[in-house]
Structure 1
Amino acid sequence: MHRRNFMSLAAAGTLLGFTGPAFADLPSLRFRDMYARGKDLSDLSLSLQGQRIAMTGYMAPPLKPEINFFVLTKTPMATCPFCDDAADWPNDIVLSYFAGEQAFTRFSNLIRVEGTFDTGIKTDEPTGFVSKVRLLDTRYTVL
């Protein structure tokens, strides 16, 4: 990464009110490294449980405007990849709960997120959305 790009990312994080470590100081997890064989989480993913991490991807459009989460995807998606069963959980999405009030961004914008990595099958009560992996207290910046 060029120094100028890093400085731009650091400045953008400051403008968006990021507190805590800069993205460069966080462990980074790529979608391709999240799972081992099949639907089992990789050793790397398991080791990151409960830690603040950084990921890069795209924000899928929300199910409805008043929800407090978005789905981080590996590739841009024009519709939300809603799943009703953890057995169908795709290995290229991460449920991401906002840290406080945040706005949604266009589905085609590449974003860098930071959040606390959480694993295990859980259901979001208000929406019924079933997730296998999540980022909690997520903040993002558009790259």
Structure 2
Amino acid sequence: MKLSSSIYGQPSRRDVVRAGLGAAAALALPGFLAPARADDNTLTFEQLYGKFSALGLEFSERVKTFTGKRVSMRGFMAPPLKAESKFFVLTKMPMALCPFCSSDADWPEDIVVVYLGDKQTFVQSNQTIEVTGTLEIGSWTDPETGFVSQLRLTQARFRSI
């Protein structure tokens, strides 16, 4: 950004305001403005998939790198099938209905199945949560529910933010 100076050789009021707004945006949106650090174990929904091929969406290199490792994600808890479930679906946007699909071929790109390590009380579907768990990828069918997933966080915990 080129600074224009006032008649006294100082930055103009407009330049100071622009710089302040830019700094505020950088603080408010660090994930959008700065690249992820190598030691950062967070994933966003936008980072889950890479290119689209004849086989459909492919997992991103970041997801492949973190497979089998502890990661954190932020999103919303979709309404669970039943209150005593040991799992829920993390979604990019709040949902009023459960986003379960019939097969992994229909797998939506903006959900992640979360299997809890310990029982926790579910939260309202419009409240942002942060989930930390071990990342697993690939088609898997839950033997208890028959639910098919492509992407999971296991031994997970969540907290409201």
TM-score normalised to structure 2 length: 0.72
Give the count of matched residue pairs: 121
What pairs with 1:63-74 in structure 2 (closer than 5 Å)? 63-74=81-92
Q: Tell me the secondary structure at the aligned position of residue 119 of structure 1.
A: strand
- Whole-Å separation in 2 of the counterparts to 1:80 and 1:26: 30
Quick one: higher RCO (CA 8 Å, sep 6+), 1 or 2? 1
Instruction: Give ranges in structure 2 of 5+ residues lacking alignment.
Output: 1-26, 29-38
- 2:63 partner letter: S
Q: Based on CA coordinates, which of the two structures has the bigger radius of gyration?
A: 2
Q: Select the residue among 115, 136, 142 that pairs with 2:133.
A: 115
Q: Residues 26 and 52 (structure 1 numbering): CA distance in 2 closer, same or farther, change over 3 Å?
A: farther
Query: Secondary structure of 1:47's match?
Result: helix
What does residue range 23-102 of structure 1 map to in structure 2 within 5 Å?
Answer: 27-38=41-52, 39-102=57-120
Give, in angstroms, the shift of residue 66 of structure 1.
Answer: 2.2
Question: Runs of 4+ in structure 1 displaced over 3 angstroms?
Answer: none
The alignment partner of 1:131 has SS state of strand
SS at match of 1:36: strand
- Whether the aligned pair in 2 keeps the contact of 1:26 and 1:54 (CA below 8 Å) is no
